[in-house]
Structures are given as C-alpha cells and as structure tokens.
Amino acid sequence: MTAYLNALGLICALGRGKAEVARRLLGGDGSGMQPYPKAVTGRQLPVGAVTEKLPSLADTPLQHATRNNQMLLAAIEEIEADLHEAIARFGRSRIGVVMGTSTTGIQEATQGITDLVREGQLPSSYHYGHQELSAPASFLSERLQLSGPSYSISTACTSSARALLSAKRLLDAGLCDAVICGGVDTLCDLTLQGFSALEATSERICNPYSVNRDGINIGEAAAVFLMTQESAPVALLGAGASSDAHHISAPDPQGLGAIEAMRKALSSAATQAEQIGYLNLHGTATRHNDAMESLAVAAVFPSGVPCSSSKPLTGHTLGAAGALEAAFCWLALSEHNPARLLPPHRWDGQQDAELPRMNLIAAGTTMAAAGQRRMMTNSFAFGGNNISLILGDAP
C-alpha cells in the first residue's frame, strides 16, 4: 500500500522550519556553511552548523540531555499538532518511532571521557546513555508516551533513508497506523577528526562533480516525518536498498550497488527512469563517490535527468542526510514551492571530463508541468550500503 508523508519538521544549516528552509534551498539563497570553532588536524574546516536557539531539555532525564535530542525536539515541535492528532486518532500503542543516526550524543560522551582522563572522574553531566544509538527513538517514545515499535537504525550515511523504508514496512505489516520517522545527527569533534584522518574533508565549501572537488563538509540536521496510509499530497512511492560490501569506506568504483538500489526503487514505484523529474544526488564531493555515482546515474538514466547535490548548502549530515534530502524533495513537491523550482546545484561549473556528463541544474530551473511528479533521492554509505527513495505527488 502507498505510504504518505503527512507532516514534516526539520532544522538544518539552512534554517529552522519548512518555510525558511524551502526559501533558501529553492531560491539559491547561498550556503549555510560556516567555520568550525576549533581547528581540526591543524585545519579550519567549514561545517553546516545549526545556529538557531534549540529547545530546552531541563525537564528531561539526564540520559536524554544531549544536543542531538535538542535538535530532534526542534524538528518535532514543528509537527506537534499533527502528532497529537495522530495520538488521539490511533492511540499511543499504534504509533511507531524509527530514527536514523550515526553520532547520537557522542559529543557529550567524548567530553565526559575527556574530563575523566584530565580530572580523574566523570562529570555529573555524564550518562552512558548519551552515546547509545537507540537514544533518539527512545527519547521520542518516552517524551510522547508512545508504546508502539520504537528503534533506531545506524547504517552510517543511509541511516535515516532506511528509517523511512522501515517505517513503510511497519505500516504494510499492520503493526502501526502511523510512524514518526526520519533522522538526526549533530556536529562533534570525533566525526570531524575521523573524516579528516581519512583525508576526506575540504577546507572550502564542497564542490560536487567538479574537476576541482577535494572532499566533503560535515553538517548537522534533524528531519522528521509523520508517515501514515492516509492520503496526503506527498507520498513515498518507492524505495530500493542494496549492500554490495565492496569496501569498509570506499564505494564500488563501478557503482553496481548504487545501480541496484536505484533500479529497485524504480521497480518498487512502478516507474520508468524517464518519469523521474529530479534526482537528489548523494554528491559528497569526494573523488571516489562522485565518480561512482556519475557512472551509476548514467547507467540508470541514459537519457539524463535533472539533478543536484544539496551538500554544499548544508554539509553532509551523515545519519540525518537521507531524511533531510527526502525532506528537500518533499518541500519541492509541496505548497512551499508554488513556482515549482528545483533545488539548484552549487559548484564552480568546471566539469570533470573523466566523468559522464550530468544535467546539474542551475538556480531557477523548474519542474516539468505535466503529469504526476516523481523525484528520487540517493544515499550511499560506508560498507557499500545503498538506498534510493522515490517521492512524488499522491497517486
């Protein structure tokens, strides 16, 4: 059965809430990147940081008192009325929670361990639960007093895209009538140091698909949907996942897993490649990822497809990226986009001649006017973990 994305709450480097994010995303209103406040391996790195004041967790048990949960609560507050309506209609036992994350509260845990090493004891603010990967889902279920299925998914950069697929499966199986699904990840020293050690980070705003690309920027975000089988303007039409296990961190250079995920998504949505009006690329701006994805896109879309990467605007939000970029497609399909604009591709325009040419779209590009609109978004992760989602107008 069709799954509908009835409500969306989000916060990222482009702002807080659907209206502000849609305006900056679709209008080509610059980037949300800014310098990280401390040097990383001796370098000053740009990051997609959230600067808005976040909700207080003063009334929350210590184990849930993390910036990650503050970000998640900021997204939840935008759809609070929709959630309470769903609770009243379906009951607390019939609403599930599936969240994707990769960092959870590791920054708070790292700070606690640092104090232990320096001072000989853990600070009173430390709780082991901060770093548990289950924390986002547990936090939401407890805060909203829900007793339906509740779990987190951590498959690196595909985590929250897989959360949407898992949410749909809960609905299809009849285990839930509604699912709160999405993802959240926050900036932390450990992640920045780790990607820098892999020589994967750039000191400039990232430049996907350019011959001059030299690495990623890291960002933070929370994006949360309320998914049901009750009709809404935007639907999750299909999804495809694969795991090629090519390498622990490098993608399969031929893009076989990515191709499989995209083709599975098209089959799931009963859609031909020519019917996809826009593709949100994973587009990390690393040498290997962009080369792999360009080959995969050329294989699945031989006639081309309008596409862009949104990571120069928000940074790579890791476990939140899949849900955030699905949210960007949702915004492009929604009433927040009356001009029918597509998210533009920000780069220097210097095509890499060694890659298949892609239809990377400029600001002001609009969707085709006729027929049901369909958009695909790609997420690829360490370990050869791949997922593609297709969102579109309700059938």
Active site residues: 157, 282, 316
- Distance from C-alpha of 5 to C-alpha of 226, rounded to nearest angstrom: 6
Contacts of 164 (CB under 8 A, 6+ apart): 98, 181, 182, 225, 227, 236, 239, 322, 323, 326, 389
The angle subtended at Cα 13 by Cα 276 and Cα 40, nearest 5°, is 115
- Distance from C-alpha of 187 to C-alpha of 194, rounded to nearest angstrom: 12
Query: For strand 95-100 and strand 3-12, is the pairing parallel, antiparallel, or unpaired?
Result: unpaired
- Report the SS3 class of residue 77: helix
CB 265 within 8 A of CB 389: yes
**Helix locations, the chain, DSSP H:** 18-26, 67-78, 80-90, 106-119, 135-144, 159-172, 189-197, 256-268, 287-300, 311-314, 321-333
Sequence-ordered strand ranges (E) for 203-248: 218-219, 221-228, 234-243
Contacts of 364 (CB under 8 A, 6+ apart): 28, 341, 344
Contacts of 240 (CB under 8 A, 6+ apart): 260, 261, 262, 263, 264, 265, 266, 267, 268, 387, 388
Token duo for residue 336: 């927040």
Residues written for the chain: 395
Token duo for residue 70: 């503050």
- Distance from C-alpha of 160 to C-alpha of 164, rounded to nearest angstrom: 7
The angle subtended at Cα 108 by Cα 104 and Cα 109, nearest 5°, is 85
